[in-house]
Amino acid sequence: MARITAGVGCSHVPAIGVAMDTNITEQDYWKPVFNGFEFSRQWMKDNKPDVVFLVYNDHCTVFDASCIPTFALGCAAEFPPADEGWGPRPVPVVKNHQKMASHIAQSLVLDEFDITIMNEMEVDHGLTVPMSVMFGDHGVDDEWPCPVIPLAVNVVQYPAPLGRRCYNLGKAVRRAIESYGEDLNVVIFGTGGMSHQLQAERAGLINSDWDKRFLDLLTEDPVAASEITHLEYLRETGSEGIEMVMWHVMRGALNDDVREVHRHYHVPASNTAVGHIILENI
C-alpha cells in the first residue's frame, strides 16, 4: 500500500526560479532565501519520495479566463514547463505517475470531491519553483528525481476553495493514496504564500507576525488553521496571501500529530514573504 510520510509547505515566488536560472543565488539579496533550503535538499535525499503529490496554482498561464476549475488533477503522462512570457524555465519536463494519478482521480470523485481531470497540461512557476528549491538545480536535459502528481487549485478568482474544504480534500487524497496497491513513499507539497499583495496601492504588504502564527497553528492545531476565513487572509496577508489555503490540503493529508523537522522564513523575495516548513508524520 502506498503511504504519505511527510508534507512540505513552500512558497513558489517566480523570482526565486529566475534567481536559480540565472545563477545569482549567491548574491547578498538571495543568499538568505536559499540558505533555508540547504537542510531541505539534504532531507529530500535522505527521505527520497517515490512520488510527489504537489498542490499549486496556475497564475493565468495555462488556464485562461475561459475555464476556471477549482481543483484540477494532472493525469497526463508529462507536464512541460510553460512559457509565461519570457520563454519556458530551463528545467526538466515533469513526469507523472500516471497510474497512481488515475487511481486518485477516480477515488476522489467517489469520495465526493468532483475534481477536473487534466489529460494535457503545461505547468508554470507555481509547480516548478518548489521542485527547484527542494531538489536543487536540474537542467532541461536532466530528470527530476521522482514523478509528480500535480493538483492545481484556483486561488486567482475569488473565492478560492475554503481552507476547511482544502483540509478535507487532503484527507481524501490520503485515502486515495492509501488505497493504491503498490508500496510507495509519497511526500505531499502545499505551495504558495506567504503574506503578499502584488496589486494596486497596497502592494508590498507583508505580515510576518501573522505568517509565523500560521506556521505554528498549521503544525499544532491544523483544524483551527483550516478555519481561518477568506476575509482574514485578504485583510491580514494581502490579496495574494490567500494562496495559503493550499497548505491545508497538504496538512489534511498528514496525521493529526506531526513533527516539525524544519522551518524557514524570510522577507523578502521580490514582493513576497518566503515561508517553508517540513512536517513528518509521527
Partner 1 sequence: MAKEYDDIPGTFVFDADRSREGYWLNQFCITLRKEECRQAMRDDPEAYLAKFAMSDEQRQAVRDRDWNLLLELGGNIYYTAKLAAFDGINFQELAALMTGVSREEYRDMMLNGGRSIEGNRFKSEWEIK
Q: Any idea which residues carry the catalytic annotation? A: 125, 196
Binding mask 153-192 for partner 1 (x = CB under 8 A): ---xxxx---------------------------------
Q: Which residue is listed with cell 478568482?
A: 157
Asked if 67 is part of the footprint of partner 1 (rule: CB under 8 A), the reply reads no
The nearer residue to partner 1, 107 or 207, going by C-beta atoms, is 207
Q: What is the 3-state secondary structure (H, E, C) of 183-201?
A: CCEEEEEEECCCCCCCCCC
Asked if 231 is part of the footprint of partner 1 (rule: CB under 8 A), the reply reads yes
> CA 165, CA 252: separation in Å to the nearest integer?
10
Q: Would you list the DSSP string of 70-134?
A: SEEEE-SSEEPBPB-SS-B-SSPPEEP-HHHHHHHHHHHHHTT--PEEESS--B-HHHHHHHHHH
Provide the minimum distance between the beta carbon of 53 and partner 1 in the complex, in angstroms, as a whole number: 24
Contact (Cβ atoms closer than 8 angstroms) between residue 276 and residue 7? no
Binding mask 71-100 for partner 1 (x = CB under 8 A): ------------xxxx--------------
SS3 181: coil
Provide the minimum distance between the beta carbon of 239 and partner 1 in the complex, in angstroms, as a whole number: 5
What is the contact surface with partner 1 in residues (CB under 8 A)?
Answer: 14-15, 59-61, 64-66, 68, 83-86, 156-159, 195, 197-210, 231, 234-236, 238-240, 267-268, 270-271, 273
